[in-house]
Structure 1
Amino acid sequence: MDNHLTDKQFEDLLKQYNNMIHYQIHKLFIKDYEGEFYQEGVTALWEAYRKYGHDPTFPKMATIYIRSRLIDKIRKHKRVQDRETVDEYIDHQIAFNKQIEHFDPHFWTTVRQNLSDKQWLFVEKRILKGYSLKEIAEQEQTTVDAVKGWGQAAKRKLRSALEDYYTT
């Protein structure tokens, strides 16, 4: 059933359910600085009325619609945030890899000479190629903790070796 509302009727309905929209936002711990979640709640109220407006279950259905739409919006925000974080990481890695390409070959020879095979593997795969600790562990058939250990040992060794490199 499609229920039509005049602007005045919807204003009255919104006045009646306004506190409930704010309550759901508060209950979900949403910081709605720009009002986009409130607007989502208003839209959900409109849709709930169009579908269940004259049904005795409307108050319950309005609550469910509003809460569900707010949760969907939270999830969408999270996906966007995750995607932006990944994009920023990739952009950073590309810029970092371009910087590495400009280091002189003597630098990498110095680095390689001071490390064990496992430590060099860490530098090569983690720093130069940008693999995650988990990816390296899977490729080398070991644990993430072992890979972390290689990295810590490599960092300790390289501190003194690279100090000599930069002071010359």
Structure 2
Amino acid sequence: MLQQGGNRERDVEFELVFMEYKKMIHHLIHKYNIQDPQGEFFQEGLIALWNAYQRYGDRDSFGKMAYITIRSRLIDLIRKKNRRAEKETATDLISESAYTDESINTFDPFFWERIQNALTDKQWIFVRRKIIEGRAYKDIAALENTTVDAVKGWGKEVKKKLKTLLEEES
């Protein structure tokens, strides 16, 4: 936690600041209903506290600045995690490689039947062409006589439905 080769007196001062402000980090984690079993958010809050201390430690407004800095960093981490989760696609869940029509049924026919029943015809076309056959958006649009944007729209809807469907399974 302490910097090697840093100002020892400043490090000892930070230890006191940490003891005083760690409750603030826990408060913000609780306030935003963050589940933090690995302590990742607490660690981010601690780093933010250190940064605030380095920058504003000698000011009367340190408490406010520490609160704002910690809160901002926690919110940034939440947003980062949400963006990462949104970018996950059905292809990540299955595999990057394409499957043949024969291998799709040997994979798990009940799984694919359940997926197909949950989707519209256009959405199933997206799953079949993109995920199973591994085709590009442009190729799918040409095959289906539509636009690339339309195909991407089908994909977004598929992602939403698959996410809900897979969450129900767990």
TM category (shorter chain) comes to 0.5 to 0.7
Tell whether the 8 Å contact from 1:21 to 1:66 is kept in structure 2 after alignment.
Answer: yes
- Pairing of 1:70-109 with structure 2 (within 5 A): 70-83=74-87, 85-86=88-89, 89-91=90-92, 92=94, 97-100=98-101
Gaps of 5+ in 2: 1-6, 105-119, 132-136, 155-170
Which structure has the greater CA radius of gyration? 1
CA distance in 2, matches of 1:23, 1:123: 43
For residue 155 of structure 1, what is the aligned residue in structure 2? none
Question: Residue 22 and residue 101 in structure 1: after superposition, are their counterparts in 2 closer, same or farther (change >3 A)?
Answer: same
Q: Distance in 2 between matches of 1:79 and 1:125?
A: 26
Q: Is residue 53 from structure 1 mapped to residue 57 from structure 2 by the alignment?
A: yes
CA contact (8 A) 1:93 1:130 kept: no
Structure 1 gaps of 5+ residues are 104-118, 148-168
Match of 1:128 in 2: 128
Change (3 A) 1:44 1:138: farther
Task: Output the CA distance in 1 between the equivalents of 2:102 and 2:33.
Answer: 46
Residue pair 1:40, 1:69 contacting (<8 A) in 2 also: yes
Task: Answer whether contact 2:14 2:53 (CA < 8 A) is retained.
Answer: no
Within a 5 Å distance, the mapping from 1:4-83 to structure 2 comes to: 6-83=10-87
RMSD: 3.6
SS at match of 1:33: coil
In structure 2, the CA distance between the partners of 1:122 and 1:77, relative to structure 1 (3 Å rule), is closer
Q: Which residue of 2 aligns with 1:139?
A: 146
When normalised by structure 2's length, the TM-score is 0.56
Shift of 1:61: 0.5
Rate the CA distance shift 1:81–1:7 in 2: closer, same or farther, 3 A.
same
Q: Distance in 1 between matches of 2:52 and 2:123?
A: 57
* Identity level (%): 37
Does the Cα contact within 8 Å between 2:52 and 2:69 map onto a contact in 1? yes
CA distance in 1 between counterparts of 2:68 and 2:37 reads 23
TM-score by length of 1: 0.56
Q: How far did residue 130 of structure 1 move?
A: 3.4
User: Which of the pair has the greater relative contact order for Cα pairs under 8 Å at 6+ separation?
Assistant: 1
What's the offset of the Cα at 1:122? 4.8
Shift of residue 23, structure 1, vs aligned partner: 0.1
Letter in 2 for 1:69: R
Distance in 2 separating the partners of 1:100 and 1:68: 49
